[in-house]
Chains A and B, each alone.
Chain A
Amino acid sequence: MSDGVLGASVVWQIGPFGITDAVITTWGIVAGFAVAALLASRCWRPEPARWQTAAEAVVAAIEAAIADVVPRAAVRRLLPFVATLWLFILVANLAGLVPCLQAPTRDLSTTAALALLVFGSTHWFGIRIRGIRGHLRHYIEPSILLLPFHVIGEISRTLALAIRLFGNMVSLEMAAMLLLLIAGFLVPVPLLMLHVIEAVVQAYIFGMLALIYIASALEPTERDAESAAASQTNEEKS
C-alpha cells in the first residue's frame, strides 16, 4: 500500500517541506471555522436565533461533559481546548465523505500532532493549575519506583491516542474502497453511513480520552489530600 492509501500525498513541495493534502484540508477546515466564528461573533444577539441557540447548546453540552470529569473551577480553562478537539476531529473525520477530499485524520502525522497536543496540554494544565512541583509530584506517588511506569504510561497512551484515531479512520476508508472494488458502485453507501457514526464516535472518544488525561493530571495527590485535610483542621481550630 502506498502513502496515497494509508497516508497523505504531498501536493506542494516547498524546499524540503512537503505540503500534504491533509494539511490543505486542515487549512480549509480552519478557514471554515474562522469564517463561521467571525460571522457568528458579529451576529450575536441577546435574543438568540436558531443557529445561535444551536451553537449555545453545543457549547453548553461540551461544558456539561467537561464539568462531569474535572473540578468546576477548571471547566472554563479546559473548555476551549477540549471543545476545539471535538469540533475539529469531528469535522476532519467527516471531511472524508466529501468527494475529492481526504480526511486529515487518516494521516498519522495529523493524529500524532493532535496526540502530542493532548500530551502537552496535560502538562500545561497540570502545571498551571497545580504548580510545577505539585504536577511533578504526581509521577512519584505513591512511590518513586512507579516513575518509569508513569512515564511509559504517558508515552503509550499518547501513541495509543494517535494510532487509535488513525487506524479507525484508515480502516473505515479501506473497507469502503475494498467494497467499491469488489461489489461495485453504490454498494459502499451503507458503509459510508457507518462512516458518519464512526466519525462522531471517534471524535467523542478522542476528546473524552484527552479530557480524562488532563483530568488525571489535575487530580489531587495523597500529599495534596493530607495538606488539604490539615488546612481544614486548622481552619476549624481557629
Chain B
Amino acid sequence: MSLDWTTLALEMLNFLVLLWILKRFFYAPVLAALDARQQRLRDQATRATRTQAEAAQLKTRYEERLADWQREREEARRQLEQELVQLRTSGMAALEASLADEEAAVRARAAAGAASHEAALLREAAEQAYGSAAAMLRRLASPQLTLCIAAMFCEDLAALPDAEQAALRKAAADLAAGAAVEVSSAHALDAAARDRLMAALAQAAARPLTAAFRETPELVAGLRVAVGECLLHANLADELAFFKSRGAHA
C-alpha cells in the first residue's frame, strides 16, 4: 500500500488521454447529435405551433364562411318562401279568375243551351201547333169559307192603310197595258164574288183592272191577289206559313 509516483503520473496521463479521446470522438458527436435532434424537435414544435395557429385561423375563417353561408341560405329560403307565397297568391287569384271565367262561360253555355233548348221546344211546339192548326183548318176549309174570306178581303181593301194603298196603286199603275191581275183562290169563286172582288180592287187601285182567276187548292181556303209586283194574301196557307215562320224566329 505504497504510493508509486510512476504509476500516479502514468495514470494521470492515461486519464487525460482518455479524456481527450472521448471528448474528441464520443462526447462531441453525441452532444452534436443531441443538439441537432433538440433543434429539430424545436423546429418541428415551432412548425406544429405555426400549423396549429394556421389551422385555427382556417377553422375560424371556415366557421365564419359557414355562418355567412347559413345566413345567405336563410335569406334565400326566406326570399324563396316569399316568392312562393306571392306565386301561390297570384296563382290562386289567376285560378279563381279562370274559374270565374270558366263558371261564367259554363253558365253562358248553359244559358245558351237552355235558350236553344227552349227555342227548339218552342219551335217544336210551333211546329206541332202549326200542324194541328193546319190539320184543323184543312178540315174546316170549304168554298163557303173561301167566299167569306173573299168578302172579308174586300172589306179590308176598303180600309187599307195609306202606305199599302199607295203601294197598290203604284203597282197597278205599273202594270203593262193589257196585263191582268192574277187572282188565285182555293175554291172556285162565283161570278158575284168575282165582281165584288174586282170592284173592290178597282176602288183600292183607283183604276179599272182586269183579272185572271185561277183555282189553287194549296191555299186551303181564301185567295191570293198579285197586282204586278204587289202581292195581297188572304188565305189560310199563307197565314199558317206566316205563323210558322214567326214561330221559327221566336
By a beta-carbon cutoff of 8 Å, the part of chain A in contact with chain B is: 1, 3, 6-8, 16-20, 22-23, 26-27, 29-30, 33-34, 36-38, 40-41, 44, 46, 48, 52, 55-56, 59-60, 63, 76, 79-81, 83-84, 87-88, 104, 107-110, 112-114, 116-117
Q: Are B33 and A109 in contact (CB under 8 A)?
A: no
Name the B residues within 8 Å of A44 (CB-CB): 29, 33
Name the B residues within 8 Å of A59 (CB-CB): 26-27, 30-31, 34
Number of A-B contacts (CB under 8 A): 121
Name the B residues within 8 Å of A109 (CB-CB): 3-5, 7-8, 11
Q: Are A27 and B29 in contact (CB under 8 A)?
A: no
Q: Are A33 and B21 in contact (CB under 8 A)?
A: yes
Task: Flag whether B22 is at the interface (Cβ < 8 A).
Answer: yes
Name the A residues within 8 Å of B159 (CB-CB): none
Q: In the complex, what distance in Å separates the CA atom of A150 from the CA atom of B34?
A: 39
Q: Are B21 and A37 in contact (CB under 8 A)?
A: yes
By a beta-carbon cutoff of 8 Å, the part of chain B in contact with chain A is: 1-12, 14-19, 21-27, 29-31, 33-34, 36
Chain A residue, CB-CB nearest to B2:
A7
Nearest 6 pairs of A and B residues by beta carbon: A113-B11, A109-B7, A37-B25, A37-B26, A80-B23, A6-B1
Chain B residue, CB-CB nearest to A45:
B33
CB distance from A107 to the nearest CB of B (A): 6
Chain B residue, CB-CB nearest to A76:
B31
A30-B34 CB under 8 A given contacts A37-B21, A79-B27: no
A56-B34 CB under 8 A given contacts A110-B7, A117-B12: yes
Chain B residue, CB-CB nearest to A89:
B15
Chain A residue, CB-CB nearest to B26:
A37
Q: Are A84 and B18 in contact (CB under 8 A)?
A: yes
Q: Are A41 and B11 in contact (CB under 8 A)?
A: no
Residue in A18, A29, A37 with the greatest tally of chain B CB atoms within 10 Å: A37
CB distance from B10 to the nearest CB of A (A): 5
Q: Are B18 and A113 in contact (CB under 8 A)?
A: no
A and B contact pairs by CB, cutoff 8 A, 25 listed: A7-B1, A8-B7, A18-B6, A20-B4, A22-B11, A23-B10, A26-B14, A30-B14, A40-B26, A44-B33, A52-B33, A55-B30, A56-B30, A59-B31, A59-B34, A60-B34, A63-B34, A76-B31, A80-B27, A83-B22, A108-B2, A108-B3, A109-B5, A110-B8, A116-B12
